[in-house]
């Protein structure tokens, strides 16, 4: 899953003659009417001819990029971006233009940026990130697969500090997240997932501990065990990874829901909603991708990564409605619906994460359908138990292009979780405001640690989202790096 492309940059102004080895060119210009006065723009005559024929202005390239042949067996996609617009809007324009080139199964690409120096620098950062993400070959299992990974990127018109290492690290984290999420469930049951994680830990020097089912039963992690016990294989576990940075003053815990397949349990999902449930481990993949990006960048923040890896199956040992289970922190839980398994495995995992008193816990989960109803798949929802972290989370979303919306965490919602026979209900029986109730439920297992919960409604979006062309978006990795940079300060 190491999809990193070779990257080179050139400070000289781009001209076609400088890039004979590149047959595909992504050209980015400002959205102003004078943008096309720059004679160094590759294929300028072709671009002007197409714009004139269509009756378009240069600014129209923001929403409708143009593809065309520019001679010498080469082609280009031209796009305009307006840097007064949001990062997400700029990323979306670049994604659309890249898609015009990617269908040619290219291995090499030139990124050519034009306009004022500050514009060229910012455009190059956005374009490099999008190109690295979308140049990766993600898992498919076709008999014939002729796809090629992007292996060579040339940057013309500017240079990037650190040779684009930040963009490359975040893109690698995002690619890891998407590649894991897209693996079919027979290739990524808990045992195989744990094996992959162990290999990643060895490769990147992360400390690695495993709380397997035997250990979790002994500890009394009844919420996690209740979900995992329905599987024929006793291979579920909570995996703990540690990254330590020299001079770091803050420790952040990343917690990910890793349900490798979710049948819904005894409250079985209908076929329409069970299809795609191999992606229910996306939260754990986001946590892993963020850990990879942060450790690659050698960020000055300590990270504990906790991954709740299990499956939610139906069977004679599976947990059921009306069961009462005791969580790791001693809280008794009345089971209302077996398809609310994510909050169960996260409850005990959050308890473990909070015991080491981190400065902040961030958890990621494809947790509730009601969040998808509330937001669709263009944004993800967040909850925070500290107003300052809610502000940071929203700001990180704007800067990264991975937009989030904050939801209330008011205590009066708890009345819907009152149980007559246990400390708390797992969920309500009517499903109303379930995304809020799930967050309220999880908050009971934190020991008042500062916390952000991300409900990943944007983990998959048809046609891609922001900078990402694939339906599986890897949403959350870039957002986390922005947030970790805040925390490190």
215 assigned to active site = no
Residue in 313, 312, 336 with CA at minimum distance from that of residue 325: 336
State the virtual CA torsion across 275, 279, 281, 287 in degrees, nearest 10: -160
State in Å, rounded, how far the first CA of the chain is from the last one: 31
Whether the CB-CB separation of 482 and 389 falls below 8 Å is answered with no
Listed in sequence order, the residues at least 6 apart from 79 whose beta carbon sits closer than 8 Å to its beta carbon are: 26, 27, 28, 29, 61, 62, 65, 93, 94, 96, 97
Distance CA 464, CA 364 (A): 20
Q: Give the pairing type, strands 66-71 and 74-81.
A: antiparallel
Number of Cβ atoms within 10 Å of the Cβ of 422? 17
Largest CA distance in the chain: 77
With 0-12 / 13-18 / 19 or more C-beta atoms within 10 angstroms meaning exposed / middle / buried, residue 1 is middle
| Six token digits for residue 123 | 């455009």
Residue in 474, 135, 472 with CA at minimum distance from that of residue 289: 474
* Residue bearing tokens 């500017």: 158
State the virtual CA torsion across 397, 374, 180, 226 in degrees, nearest 10: 120
Whether the CB-CB separation of 209 and 178 falls below 8 Å is answered with no
| Six token digits for residue 278 | 């191999």
**Residues 52, 53, 58, CA angle at the centre, nearest 5°?**
40
357 assigned to active site = no
Distance CA 61, CA 30 (A): 9
The residue from 57, 198, 269, 300 that is catalytic is: 269
Distance CA 87, CA 94 (A): 11
Listed in sequence order, the residues at least 6 apart from 143 whose beta carbon sits closer than 8 Å to its beta carbon are: none
The residue from 343, 379, 440, 444 that is catalytic is: 343
Distance CA 480, CA 380 (A): 13
Known catalytic residues are 269, 343
């Amino acid at each position: 899953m190491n999809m990193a492309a070779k990257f080179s940059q050139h400070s000289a102004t781009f001209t076609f003659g400088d890039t004979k080895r590149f047959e595909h060119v992504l050209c980015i210009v400002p959205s102003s009417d004078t943008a096309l006065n720059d004679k160094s723009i590759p294929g300028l005559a072709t671009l002007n001819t197409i714009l004139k024929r269509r009756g378009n202005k240069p600014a129209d390239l923001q929403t409708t990029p143009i593809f065309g042949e520019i001679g010498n067996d080469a082609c280009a996609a031209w796009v305009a971006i307006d840097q007064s617009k949001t990062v997400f809007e700029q990323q979306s324009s670049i994604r659309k233009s890249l898609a015009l080139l990617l269908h040619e199964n290219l291995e090499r690409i030139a990124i050519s940026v034009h306009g004022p120096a500050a514009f060229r620098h910012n455009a190059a950062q956005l374009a490099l990130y999008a190109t690295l993400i979308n140049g990766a070959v993600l898992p498919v299992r076709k008999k014939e697969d002729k796809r090629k990974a992007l292996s060579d990127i040339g940057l013309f018109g500017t240079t990037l500090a650190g040779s684009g290492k930040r963009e490359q690290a975040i893109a690698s984290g995002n690619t890891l997240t998407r590649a894991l999420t897209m693996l079919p469930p027979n290739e990524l049951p808990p045992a195989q997932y744990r094996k992959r994680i162990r290999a990643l830990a060895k490769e990147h020097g992360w400390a690695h501990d495993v709380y397997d089912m035997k250990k979790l039963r002994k500890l009394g992690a009844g919420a996690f065990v209740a979900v995992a016990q329905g599987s024929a294989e006793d291979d579920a576990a909570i995996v703990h990874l540690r990254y330590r940075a020299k001079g770091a003053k803050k420790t952040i815990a990343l917690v990910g829901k890793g349900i490798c397949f979710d049948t819904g349990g005894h409250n079985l999902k209908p076929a329409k909603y069970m299809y795609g449930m191999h992606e229910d481990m996306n939260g754990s993949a986001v946590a892993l991708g963020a850990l990879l990006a942060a450790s690659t960048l050698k960020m000055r923040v300590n990270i504990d990564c906790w991954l709740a890896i299990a499956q939610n199956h139906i069977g004679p040992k599976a947990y059921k409605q009306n069961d009462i289970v005791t969580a790791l922190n001693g809280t008794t839980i009345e089971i209302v619906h077996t398809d609310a398994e994510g909050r169960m495995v996260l409850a005990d995992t959050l308890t473990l994460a909070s015991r080491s008193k981190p400065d902040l816990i961030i958890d990621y989960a494809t947790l509730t359908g009601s969040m998808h109803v509330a937001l669709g798949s263009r944004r993800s929802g967040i909850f925070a138990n500290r107003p300052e972290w809610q502000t940071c989370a929203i700001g990180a979303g704007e800067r990264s292009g991975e937009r989030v919306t904050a939801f209330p965490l008011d205590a009066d919602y708890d009345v819907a979780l009152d149980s007559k026979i246990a400390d708390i209900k797992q969920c309500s029986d009517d499903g109303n405001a379930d995304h809020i109730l799930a967050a309220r439920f999880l908050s009971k297992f934190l020991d008042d640690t500062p916390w952000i919960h991300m409900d990943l409604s944007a983990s998959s979006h048809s046609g891609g989202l922001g900078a990402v062309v694939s339906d599986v978006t890897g949403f959350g990795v870039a957002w986390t790096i922005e947030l970790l940079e805040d925390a490190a300060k």
